[in-house]
Chain A
Amino acid sequence: MNQATDTAPKRKNDRIGLILYMIYLAMLLASIVLIGKIVYMQVVWQPDEKIYDPLTPRNTKKVLEPVRGNILDRKGRLLAMSYPVYILHMDCTVGKESEWQSKVPALAEGLHRIFPEMTAAQYGKMIRQARSKGQRYLSIGKPIDHKTLNKVLQLPLYSEGRNKGGLIVEQKNTRRYPYGTLARRTIGFVRESNPGVSNNLVGIEGKFNDILHGKDGKEWFRQTDKGKVVRNFDSVYVKAEDGRDIVTTIDIDYQEIADKALRAQIDGNEDIEGACLVLMEVSTGAIRAMVNLKKDSSTGRFEEIENMAIGRRHEPGSVFKTVTLMSVLDDHCIKSLDEMIPTNHGRISEARVDDQHIRDHEAKDRTSSISVIDGFKISSNYVFAKLTLDNYGGRKVDKLMDHFKEYGLTSKFDFDLDGLQAPNLPRPEHLSDLARVGYGYATELTPLQVLTFYNAIAGKGRMMKPYLVDGPCVLDKSICPAAVADTLTRALKAVTEDGTAKWSLQNCKVTVAGKTGTSFGTFPKGQRGSDPYHDPSGRRKYQGTFVGYFPADDPQYSVISTVYSYPTIRSYQGGGIPARAIRALIDELYIIDPYWQEELVQCD
């Protein structure tokens, strides 16, 4: 390195140069110290563990919650959606005493305005007591929405932030249902894991939980030199995948009408345990309304707390006679509905059948025979026991069982909701059992399975799978010839025009083809000898059903309603509450459904 000796003399008496030189020296010394310190800290120094964590800026991981998908009705109206609620707590230990105390009255007044459950004085007392006890997590009010949170954040003390005001805000995502309890059991819900409850995934929410939920993401954050928290672009970022929306077949207007129609029939009736009503589109199997009302034992009100339409399997009663009639028509056992059958005073002793309706018929018409259609209209057990025994007795019973299989009555289909009960149609071993099968006992079906069968008749034999989300799907292209379906429609129309459903469906705005049915719930054996259908007081549990489709000549919708009673001495037949509820539903649908709207052609 060369020596620069020529510059030395010039520095003498150079005051500015000296000052600059001193500054330079100072900076040089400082840089030496800094470098030394850095080396020392990197190599030798061990920080105190107590202060290491708080003083070290670090990456923090945040799980990105996906937005849960909405559930929509068929017209895109929101049935279920998510937004957060805010839960408020207060750290009462922060802030200077005098300043804090002076702001409490105004805060208490503000809290009273927002949460009027308590007076301002009560709020003030609660907060002051919490401070004296050193409480750092005092619960304030109830969960609130964002709009209300903004009001809370304007209150004295709380407006000063977390550290000075002590307000702790926790956000919690919640599911909201704009239509309240309408179709609640069908829309469903997801319960937080509860060991005491076996089913935490209910309805569409539960069945399609994976699709609705989406996938969690993750993101890392770091602190800037100014103490702000920003995303760390050097770390892994996984975007949250929001849940997808689900469009259901439910029409919320129809659901509301159905709900209202059913409630009008059962509200205030102490004998009724519950009732259900399902409305389905004939051509597709799309369920437009599914009402399940069960009496809440704590409130006495009817609420959507059990899906009876799919979860209650019971003897269908006389609505099953249509199955028997389809079988005998299918097998050409009878040539027409007008074929006559001897009445025998309504008795078949070997099968223990005794039908008072037939004796009434004999007396009224002074006759000893009855046509099949008349037997169907009055829902005669004798007629259908006889048809079954005559045509499927002995070795032919398997033929009847094969028909049940062909009609899709022996197995359950894959439904969009969990909990659909499998049907139970055991092979009858005795004549009396076979006779009972003929008129709808000794078998068990859910209301939805009965409806699916009737929907197939309305569809000229084509059986559609009922669906709420995934569909349409054909279960069977033809369970019976179209001619058989037409004949059945004639019989079902006779029931509503001149049979057991006549009084309820009289003057209905639309022609309905349908069948009433009543069965009885069973009691544990031994309560009243060998009779399982009565309790010791002689009361019965009724299950009254009406099922059918409309308009009868060009079916658009099929519908079923079943009412369940507590043990009672009153009678709850299918032609009563269920038929009246369906009639009220049909009368309102007639007004709003596009099928019945008249089109006017505009002329130029």
Chain B
Amino acid sequence: MMEGLQPGRRLAKVWTLLKNSLVAIVKGQFLLRLNVGRYFIHVIFTFFVLGAVIWASLQIDTTLAKVEKNKETLKEMEILYSEKAFDVATLGRRTTISEMLKTMGSSVTEPEKPAKTVKK
């Protein structure tokens, strides 16, 4: 468009373009002057998509925060499980069982002869 023009006229042309654009921006007519009204729906969609991306990003952060919290809960559960397993193992000792039976007044004691097993 500006090919073949002298450098001075070319500069003036650019200045006019910038001035008009600036005035159009101030007046709120920039997009209308670019004649992008027919793409209005696309502009709106772009804004919507950008908004959606920001919202999704925030939601992902929230979800990740939940994941970390759940990990903590899971870890706590594992620790509790380990503690219970320890308690159960401690109670499995032969002498402990004998003492508990004795305390409870049970007549069950260690056997005096080998067990007999039934073979099918």
User: Which A residues contact B (CB, under 8 angstroms)?
Assistant: 1-4, 7, 21, 24-25, 28, 77-78, 81-84, 145-147, 176, 178-179, 182, 224-226, 228-231, 252-253, 256-257, 260, 588, 590-594, 596-602
Contact = CB atoms under 8 A, between A and B. Distances in A.
Interface string B54-65: 000010011011
Contacts of A2: 33, 35
Contacts of A231: 64, 67-68
Interface stretch (B4-12, B42-50, B79-87, B99-107): B79-87
A4 B117 contact: no
Contacts of B93: 178-179, 182, 252, 256
23 contacts: A1-B24, A7-B29, A25-B26, A78-B85, A78-B86, A81-B82, A81-B89, A82-B82, A145-B83, A146-B76, A146-B80, A146-B83, A182-B93, A224-B61, A228-B68, A230-B61, A231-B68, A260-B95, A590-B114, A591-B110, A594-B117, A599-B116, A602-B118
Nearest to B24: A1
A231 B61 CA distance: 9
A225 B92 CA distance: 51
Nearest to B92: A77
Nearest to A588: B110
Nearest to A599: B119
B73 interface: no
Contacts of B119: 599-602
B82 A83 contact: yes
A28 B89 contact: no
Given A1-B24, A4-B33, A226-B65, A597 B116 contact: yes
B115 interface: yes
A256 B29 CA distance: 93
Contacts of B116: 597-600
Contact of A225 (B35, B61, B94): B61
A146 B116 CA distance: 44
Contact of A230 (B20, B65, B110): B65
B17 A1 contact: yes
A3 B33 CA distance: 7
Q: Which 10 A-B pairs have the closest CB atoms?
A: A178-B89, A230-B64, A228-B65, A83-B82, A224-B61, A596-B114, A78-B89, A178-B90, A599-B119, A1-B20
B90 A224 contact: no
A229 B68 CA distance: 8
Interface string B22-47: 00111011001111000000000000
A71 to B, nearest CB: 12
Would you call the interface of chain B mostly helix, strand, loop, or mixed? helix
A486 B71 CA distance: 63
B86 A178 contact: yes
Contacts of A588: 110
Question: What does DSSP make chain A's interface, helix, strand, loop or mixed?
Answer: mixed
Contacts of B90: 178-179
A178 B34 CA distance: 80
Given A230-B64, A597-B115, A599-B117, 17 more contacts: A1-B20, A77-B92, A81-B85, A83-B79, A83-B83, A146-B80, A178-B93, A179-B89, A224-B62, A228-B68, A229-B65, A590-B114, A592-B114, A596-B114, A597-B114, A597-B117, A600-B117
A130 B11 CA distance: 77
Nearest to A178: B89
A591 B112 contact: yes
A598 B114 contact: yes
A230 B26 contact: no
B68 A230 contact: yes
Given A146-B76, A146-B79, A81 B92 contact: no
Contacts of B65: 224, 226, 228-230
A597 B114 CA distance: 5
Contacts of A25: 26
Contacts of B33: 1-4
The listed residue with most A CB atoms (<10 A of its CB), out of B32, B86, B112, is B86
Contacts of A229: 65, 68
A597 B83 CA distance: 35
A596 B94 CA distance: 19
A4 B120 CA distance: 102
Contacts of B94: 253, 256-257
Contacts of B83: 83, 145-147
A2 B37 CA distance: 14
Contacts of A82: 82
A596 B76 CA distance: 45
B79 A84 contact: yes
Contacts of A24: 28
A252 B120 CA distance: 29
A145 B84 CA distance: 11
A253 B89 CA distance: 12
A231 B62 CA distance: 12
Nearest to B95: A256
B64 A28 contact: no
Contacts of A598: 114, 116-117
A597 B113 CA distance: 9
A31 to B, nearest CB: 10
A363 B119 CA distance: 57
A263 B111 CA distance: 21
A21 B29 CA distance: 11
